[in-house]
Structure 1
């Protein structure tokens, strides 16, 4: 097991404001290529965004309806004000998430462990409106393996 991928799970509750780019492709056939392409294009333009909370973090919310998925590459901003041409700004409403810490080399394993944890905790994955999963990438210079956090929207915590 990688020292970068701790596979620690927890619940978090928060909202996000993003500015970024997106791409849509056939799912799962065009992934991860579509995701990598939009992330690469975004990294070249992220300096155009004002009010970025941490420029060394890439947020990738996504939506999938079965045959197609839309994948975003974004920066979190203090407030969606000015959106550069060709990008979009949006807010993800306050949501409860199940979160796991893994790495760019262990994302598949991270998802498997997180979904198992969600079930053992008595939660269910939230679906429909305001149920956007998010991948969070932490950029580091000159490393092959970087920390990635996966957030899956869940129904309210048991006992809430």
Structure 2
């Protein structure tokens, strides 16, 4: 099961519009991959392969983050941040 949130980063909790909530991601170590909107799914395959090759583990109970810079273009920059259970290879 997946939950997908549309978020916007703010510097302070103030004037939150009605119907919206505030949410803070706890600190975590992440593996990060830059791709495009069009290659996002391949990006997930690559980053999870890399995590495994490096002897690290995906922290499944933490939030994976996707950052989109231009959703109007298939070639728009996107980033995938996968939370790590440990940033030190085992």
Q: Could you tell me the TM-score, scaled by structure 1's length? A: 0.51
Q: Which residue of 2 is the match for residue 55 of structure 1?
A: none
Q: Could you tell me the TM-score, scaled by structure 2's length? A: 0.88
Deviation of residue 89 (structure 1)? 1.1
Q: Which residue of 2 is the match for residue 51 of structure 1?
A: none
2:49 pairs with one of 87, 91, 116? 116
Q: Which residue of 1 is the match for residue 68 of structure 2?
A: 137
Deviations 1:41-69 (A, max 9, x none): xxxxxxxxxxxxxxxxxxxxxxxxx3xx2
Deviations 1:17-55 (A, max 9, x none): xxxxxxxxxxxxxxxxxxxxxxxxxxxxxxxxxxxxxxx
Which of structure 1's runs of 4+ aligned residues deviate more than 2 A?
A: none
Supply the RMSD in Å over aligned alpha carbons: 1.7
Which structure 2 segments of 5+ residues have no match?
A: none
Deviations 1:67-106 (A, max 9, x none): xx22111111112222101111110011000110011000
Contact 2:37 2:73 in 1 (8 A): no
The higher-RCO structure (CA 8 Å, 6+ apart) is 2
Which structure 1 segments of 5+ residues have no match?
A: 1-65
